[in-house]
Structure 1
């Protein structure tokens, strides 16, 4: 009666050895001087949205890109070697957006705050960026925006409206660090809010129709 168990054990062990020995498929791409691929284009776009790269992204890692990378690394206390490995990618993705994420952030700002002042629109974008950097929330723009019951515009479908140029400018300002909310993670309109819980959050500032809170 032991023989089938032994065969099964060996088979399971072989299976585990086979799959645990495989290299990770989502390893961070390393890009440096001379690299030329889609990751470089993404890097340049992100550095541009964060305010470190002013050229048009071209997918080629040259001296201008290397200089932008080093300035970014110095700003965030990273080794300023001009090489973008796992550590630099991790930090960059917390403080920047790619093309699709910029579109998503602009959509959210437009659908949630198009009737607000420009400062109020930036503040809504800043809340998303604050959540992205917080350990209490998901680690991507899309996951933050589409987290269940996080934003009214997702629930009522207004998120899918086409954002205007002002919403895109507000999104870029929020990504680049302008935070009129002063670090807040939530906001609500007191005239339409139905959640009792949101009133329990510490309130910091009111901008237009929204109260921003922690």
Structure 2
């Protein structure tokens, strides 16, 4: 019986080794005339960043191509108006899709709805700074839901319905306004109990939050 099980194991292992490995899906290359679903995502991201002024329509026309070209110029990419893997890589690192925008607005509302507008943008900026930092996950969803990263997620305030101000603050943070001074952390000194967070180099204070590197 033991020999039979071992034989079966080695047969299955050998079969597994011969199966073709599934390759990661390559980023789609989009150009004038493309109408696939990824065009909607592209236009949404460019709109959030301020490069595409029209409402997304899913059609890669001359206006989309021009928006891509201006984005590429801003980030040192060949300005050919074609959205290939390199353009996608940069775009996804600094922008968000609709779901991620909603997450940004919720975390800002949950963490800082009683703060000034500048303070709300600063909280959003910390999220974006983490996305861009090698010390944290490289997308908004993973950053926000990293265990014990944000009090609002832990105590449920994240699930409150964000208002229009929270969305505006999220967009301003995504577009690069960073009142936090490049902070990766922040805390409320009146409620913080972690000795570790007090040890972080403090950059500035906005409202009730101290922002740290």
- Structure 2-normalised TM-score? 0.93
| CA shift digits 1:39-72 (9 cap, x unpaired) | 0000000001111111000000000000111111
Matching residue of 1:18: 19
- What residue in structure 2 maps to residue 48 of structure 1? 47
* Corresponding residue number in structure 1 for 2:68: 69
Report the aligned-residue RMSD. 1.9
Q: Which residue of 1 aligns with 2:181?
A: 182
1:187-206 alignment runs, 5 A limit: 187-206=186-205
Secondary structure at the counterpart of residue 173 of structure 2: helix
TM-superposition CA deviations, 1:91-136 (whole Å, max 9, x none): 1111111111111100110110000000000000000000011111
Which moves more between the two structures, 11-20 or 185-194? 11-20
Q: Deviation digits for residues 12-54 of structure 1, max 9, x if unmatched?
A: 455323223x443x22111111100210000000001111111
**How far apart in 2 are the matches of 1:96 and 1:144?**
14
Q: Distance in 2 between matches of 1:88 and 1:198?
A: 36
Single out whichever of 130-139 and 82-91 deviates more from structure 2. Answer: 82-91
The Cα of 1:211 is off from its aligned counterpart by 0.3
Question: In 2, Cα distance between the equivalents of 1:111 and 1:44?
Answer: 28
* Corresponding residue for residue 173 of structure 1: 172
Specify whether residues 191 and 70 from structure 1 end up closer, same or farther in structure 2 by C-alpha distance, changes over 3 A only.
same
Larger mean Cα displacement after TM superposition, 80-89 or 6-15: 6-15
Residue in 1 that maps onto 2:110: 111
CA separation in 1, counterparts of 2:171 and 2:8?
Answer: 60
Moved more, 77-86 or 43-52: 77-86
Deviation track 1:127-180 (CA, whole Å, cap 9, x = no partner) reads: 000001111101111100000000000000000000011001000000000000
Which whole-Å CA distance do the structure 1 matches of 2:202 and 2:6 have between them? 62
Q: Does residue 32 of structure 1 match 2:31?
A: yes
Aligned length: 211
Partner of 1:141: 140
Q: Calculate the TM-score normalised by the size of structure 1.
A: 0.92
Distance 1:187 1:8, change over 3 A: closer
SS class of match (2:111):
helix
